[in-house]
Amino acid sequence: MPKGILVVLEQFNGELRKVSLELLSEGRRLADQKGATVTGVLLGQGVKDLANTAASYGADKVIVVEDEKLKDYTTGAYTSVLNKVIRDENPEVVLMGNTGIGRDLAPRLAQRLGVGCASDCVGLSEENGNLVFKRPIYAGKAYAEVATEARPILATIRPNSFTVADPSERQAEVVEVSADIDASDLKAIIKDIIRQASSRPELTDANIIVSGGRAMKNAENFKIIEDLADVLGAAVGASRAAVDSGYREYEAQVGQTGKTVSPTLYIACGISGAIQHLAGMGSSKVIVAINRDPEANIFSVADYGIVGDLFEIVPLLTEEFKKQLA
């Protein structure tokens, strides 16, 4: 019989990503209800020390697979290794973040395991002993509840959907497993990764995001968005219209064809609220909209709205936040 909860852990620059801590915390809560165990899986090179962090956030057991071929993510190698681990562990539930890696891995693992996959979920509940996942559909206009009879249950969870628990003194069993990667798994090899340095948080991990739209008028005007973001410790996003106009790189695009985010606070500056954009940020906990048009669609989803010129309002907000946070 399948048993337990398995969490696929992502790490970046020697630290577990926030979404992995969220999944460990939620997995721990769920496991305590079901009388089950939580197993974390760490893939990479030189990642064994992160097992202690995984334990403190809820893991009873951490499987560490270290290999030079796993240093950087590649689809074939990670799929092959995780497929073997999941089959050996035989968990009831497999959770991973709905990140770039998770969205690439999950459907491939589902095909290998012969099960379905609940993708981009934002909620999780238990009904009559069965797990039910909540996921947005129709560009966030409605929600579907998804359950499956096949085991393991495979799901990707949108970042910032669950609360990170306080770390504890929990100790975990650490098991090192050989990668055993076949040459046929390495259809792509990473030669080099060029990282862009930034002091701001990564968009999909950020608790606060300040985004600008086409109303910013040019790339230079994004400086007022950046100033507000830096005061709040926030990430900077952009609408598709702003990206298409060349005001911001594609990496900053929030929306259906960009990045899906779910921060605690989302501040939309000069963004009209096209369906494409709302699909990428509609699940934010609190939405603040600033727009000159009182009929702008963004106000239909905003918790707080300010009708006015963003070039006047945003600098005022920046100065007020500086005072409040001083």
Judged on CB neighbours under 10 Å (0-12, 13-18, 19+), 102 is buried
Place of tokens 């990670």: 78
Residue 312's SS3 state is helix
Q: How confident is the model at residue 209 (pLDDT cuts 50, 70, 90)?
A: very high
> Residues 297-314: what's their mean pLDDT?
96
3-state helix, strand, coil in the chain (%, to 5): 35, 25, 40
d(CA 303, CA 278): 14
**Phi/psi-derived region of residue 198, left when phi > 0, alpha when psi is between -120 and 50, beta in every other case:** beta
CA–chain centroid gap for 43, Å, is: 18
When pLDDT is averaged across residues 20-38 and rounded to a whole number, the result is 92
Tokens linked to 97: 């973040």
Under the banding of pLDDT at 50, 70 and 90, the label for residue 201 is confident
pLDDT, the chain, mean? 91
Position of tokens 């696929």? 8
Average pLDDT for residues 4-15, to the nearest whole number?
91
Domains of the chain in start order, with CATH, are: 5-185 (3.40.50.620), 203-325 (3.40.50.1220)
CA distances from 64 to 43, 51, 75, 221, 310 (A): 6, 8, 18, 46, 49
CA–CA separation, 248 and 239 (whole Å): 9
**CB contact at 8 A, 51 and 64:** yes
Q: Of all residues in the chain, what percent carry a pLDDT higher than 70?
A: 96
The answer to whether the beta carbons of residues 159 and 22 sit under 8 Å apart is yes
For the chain, how many residues are written? 326
Q: What is the pLDDT of residue 230?
A: 95
Distance separating alpha carbons of residues 60 and 300, to the nearest angstrom: 44
Query: By C-alpha distance, which of 202, 264, 267, 262 is closest to 239?
Result: 267
Q: What string of H, E and C letters represents the secondary structure of 77-140?
A: HHHHHHHHHHHHHCCCEEEEECCHHHHHHHHHHHHHHCCCEEEEECEEEEECCEEEEEEEECCC
Cα distance between residue 44 and residue 69, in whole Å: 8
pLDDT at residue number 3: 81
> Which pLDDT belongs to residue 1?
54
- Rounded to two decimals, the pTM is 0.81
- pLDDT value at position 197? 62
